């Protein structure tokens, strides 16, 4: 059996999934892309969907906790946890574990409420947004299992679309060995049916291992970056342009990468691709210091203008050491309200003093000159004002998300540490730090584990393993 990048990243996605950002509208002259708000109850505050899918080597059925935004940030008192056993959700926990192993947020039916796609089991589930938020009521299964599901607007009609790494196998295996992706275009019906679908061949044999969506070309239509590999070898990533007639069937070839975000870090109106530069061998990733690669957008795609940032770059806190994995998770948002997208970079393998793999997060600031280490910030559990303590193997920063949960015009930082020990080993936890005019601040910081939001509190649930976008 062939082993594609889908297989290679499946295990990692439960422990350290990738964060990503999508983009918004543009006129004839490009305007800065805007990340859509994940707002399940349409009150204007960004909401959080926090997965607890269980560690990959457990049979944990998994769940997703929805924490609504408010003027004071995440409102834990009114959080709701949804699993396969929730009333109205199709199937049961016995149908397959790790519910919430990956999620995607978008308004799929065009009613103004963000919906949530949750994979885990034989078929992915759509939880419909409403004035009351998310529940199991009316939820439906999709036709697919939602492999590497990612949301965007790939034909510019204002309706949410989905892309997955699913592609039909040929009836006769001797015909070809094509691999590809499937784009399901909205609006979706309440039975989960898409308005139309498109299948795109991405390569021979080496199918997509993940997707990053966002508007690179400034035309108001999201594009797709797909990552590829086979066995231990990483192959070229590819940029697929979105368009009014759907996604292009030819691509721009890029350096191998995994995960990332598309956001306008230099304010020129084009989305820039910020990703982890992984080299050519996936097996090397856990041992790498880590490098963040920026490829700047243009009207024709990703330009040759680029930059690389490490912990050894000027202004970046810390020192690059083997195993740090700087860039293991990446998310974009404007933390200080200056109009430039900033980047949160997870460094889950960072040693804090003598504590191995305690983890940290670095904030890189966008500016007219582009992304750099100027004004960068770093946070870990040993920093003053941050709850908890740096412990071996916490992997703080395994997941990161920038979103404006208190609607003050500045993105707040949510950090996941699914290996954090709470009442039990590896129950996981998240931290929420507010954005401000000076950047991310510990003022008003919050930290909580699964019990605080009604999620199962037991060993290995890995709360915070994925944060929906």
Rounded to 5°, the CA angle 222-371-25 comes to 25
- What is the radius of gyration, based on Cα positions, of the chain? 20
2, part of any domain? no
Question: What's the structural domain count of the chain?
Answer: 1
- What pLDDT, on the 0 to 100 scale, is given for residue 93? 79
Residue 204's CB is within 10 A of a number of other CB atoms, namely 10
pLDDT of residue 8: 39
Query: Strand locations in 264-379, DSSP E?
Result: 272-277, 292-298, 301-309, 329-333, 342-347, 360-365, 372-379
pLDDT of 6 higher than 70: no
Over residues 370-386, the mean pLDDT reads: 97
Q: What's the confidence (pLDDT) of residue 301?
A: 97
Q: Is the pLDDT of residue 107 over 80?
A: yes
Label residue 236 left, alpha or beta by phi (over 0 means left) and psi (-120 to 50 means alpha).
beta
Looking at the domain assignment, is residue 84 inside a domain? yes
Tokens found for residue 411: 């993105």
pLDDT score at 469: 86
Q: What is the pLDDT of residues 45-68, one digit of tens each?
A: 999 999 999 887 777 899 999 999
pLDDT tens, 250-286?
999 999 999 999 999 999 999 999 999 999 988 999 9
Token pair 């933390």 is found at 335
* Token digits of residue 378: 């770093």
Whole-number Cα distances in Å, 310 to 89, 296, 323, 407: 44, 17, 13, 32
pLDDT interval class at 174 (50, 70, 90) = low
Residue 11: pLDDT over 50: no
Q: CA-CA distance, 448 to 81, in Å (whole number)?
A: 14
For residue 75, the cross-strand partners are: 68
Q: What does residue 304 show for φ and ψ, rounded to 5 degrees?
A: -80, -10
- Say how far apart CA 16 and CA 232 lie, in whole Å: 18
Picking from 346, 235, 201, the residue whose alpha carbon sits closest to that of residue 8 is 235
pLDDT, tens digit, 9 for 90 and up, residues 328-368: 999 999 999 999 999 999 999 999 999 999 999 999 999 99
pLDDT of residue 353: 93
* Rounded Cα distance, 146 and 117, in Å: 8
Q: Which 3-state string (H, E, C) describes 177-212?
A: CEEEEEEEECCCCCCCCCCEEEEEEEEECCCEEEEE
Q: Summarize the confidence of residues 378-391 as an average pLDDT.
A: 95
pLDDT surpassing 80 at residue 29: no
Share of the chain above pLDDT 90, in %: 82
Beta pairing, strands 329-333 & 342-347:
antiparallel
In this prediction, residue 2 carries a pLDDT of 36
Average pLDDT over residues 425-429: 94
Indicate the burial class of 168 (C-beta count within 10 angstroms; 0-12, 13-18, 19 or more): exposed
Task: Give the model's confidence band at 92: pLDDT under 50 very low, under 70 low, under 90 confident, else very high.
Answer: confident
Percent of the chain predicted with pLDDT > 70: 91
Q: How confident is the model at residue 20 (pLDDT cuts 50, 70, 90)?
A: very low
Q: What is the pLDDT of residue 256?
A: 95
Q: Which residues make beta-bridge pairs with 162? A: 151, 184
pLDDT in the model for residue 34: 64
Q: What is the pLDDT of residue 15?
A: 38
Contact 153, 144 (CB under 8 A): no
CA distance 85 to 96: 12
Q: Which residue has the tokens 């929906």?
A: 468
Q: Is residue 17 part of a domain?
A: no
CA angle, residues 402, 225, 419, in degrees to nearest 5: 45
Residue 35 lies in a domain: no
- CATH code of the domain in which 385 resides: 2.130.10.130
**Residue-number span of the structural domain to which 256 is assigned:** 46-465
DSSP letter at 37 equals: P
Provide CB contacts within 8 A for 205, sequence distance 6+. 2, 4, 177, 179, 230
* 8 Å CB contact between 342 and 335: yes
pLDDT digits (tens, 9 = 90+) for 455-464: 999 999 999 9
**Mean per-residue pLDDT over the chain, rounded:** 91
Residue 347: helix, strand or coil by DSSP?
A: strand
Task: Determine, yes or no, domain membership for 248.
Answer: yes
What distance in Å separates the CA atoms of residue 170 and residue 43, rounded to the nearest whole number? 46
- pLDDT in the model for residue 150: 97
- What mean pLDDT is predicted for residues 226-238? 92
Residues 111-133 have pLDDT tens digits of 999 999 999 988 999 999 999 99
In a domain, 3, yes or no: no
Contact 464, 456 (CB under 8 A): no
pLDDT (tens digit per residue) in 436-454: 999 999 999 999 999 999 9
322 pLDDT band, cuts 50/70/90, is: very high
């Amino acid at each position: 059996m062939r082993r594609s990048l889908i297989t290679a990243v499946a295990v990692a996605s439960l422990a350290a999934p990738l964060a990503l950002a999508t983009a918004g509208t543009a006129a004839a002259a490009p305007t800065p892309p805007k990340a859509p708000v994940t707002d399940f109850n349409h009150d204007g505050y960004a909401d959080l969907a926090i997965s607890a899918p269980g560690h990959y080597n457990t049979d944990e059925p998994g769940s997703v906790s929805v924490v609504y935004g408010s003027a004071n940030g995440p409102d834990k008192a009114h959080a709701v946890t949804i699993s396969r056993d929730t009333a109205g959700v199709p199937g049961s926990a016995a149908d397959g574990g790790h519910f919430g192993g990956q999620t995607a947020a978008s308004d799929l039916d065009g009613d103004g409420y963000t919906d949530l796609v949750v994979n885990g089991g034989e078929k992915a589930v759509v939880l419909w947004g409403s004035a009351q938020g998310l529940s199991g009521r009316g939820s439906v299964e999709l036709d697919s299992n939602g492999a590497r599901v990612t949301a965007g607007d790939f034909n510019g009609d204002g309706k949410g679309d989905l892309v997955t790494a699913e592609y039909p196998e040929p009836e006769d295996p001797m015909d070809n060995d094509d691999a590809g992706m499937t784009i399901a275009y909205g609006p979706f019906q309440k039975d989960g049916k898409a308005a139309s679908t498109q299948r795109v061949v991405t390569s021979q044999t080496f199918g997509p291992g993940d997707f990053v969506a966002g508007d690179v070309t400034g035309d108001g239509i999201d594009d797709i970056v797909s990552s590829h590999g086979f066995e231990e070898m990483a192959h070229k990533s590819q940029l697929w342009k979105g368009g009014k007639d759907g996604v292009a069937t030819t691509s721009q070839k890029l350096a191998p990468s995994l995960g990332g975000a598309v956001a306008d870090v230099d304010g020129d109106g084009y989305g820039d691709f910020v990703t982890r530069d992984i080299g050519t061998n996936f097996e090397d990733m856990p041992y790498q210091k880590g490098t963040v690669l920026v490829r700047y957008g243009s009207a024709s795609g990703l330009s040759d203008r680029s930059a690389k940032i490490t912990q050894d770059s000027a202004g970046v806190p810390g020192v690059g050491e083997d195993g740090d994995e700087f860039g293991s998770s990446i998310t974009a948002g404007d933390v200080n309200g200056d109009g430039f997208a900033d980047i949160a970079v997870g460094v889950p393998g960072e040693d804090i003093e003598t504590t191995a793999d305690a983890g940290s997060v670095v904030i890189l600031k966008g500016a007219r000159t582009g992304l750099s280490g100027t004004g960068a910030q770093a946070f870990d559990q040993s920093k003053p004002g941050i709850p908890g303590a740096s412990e071996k193997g916490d992997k703080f920063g395994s997941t990161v998300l920038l979103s404006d949960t208190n609607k003050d015009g500045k993105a707040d930082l949510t950090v996941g540490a699914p290996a954090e020990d709470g009442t039990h080993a590896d129950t996981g936890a998240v931290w929420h730090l507010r954005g401000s005019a000076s950047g991310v601040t510990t003022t008003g910081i919050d930290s909580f584990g699964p019990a605080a939001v009604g999620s199962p509190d037991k060993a290995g649930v890995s709360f915070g393993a994925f944060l929906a976008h």
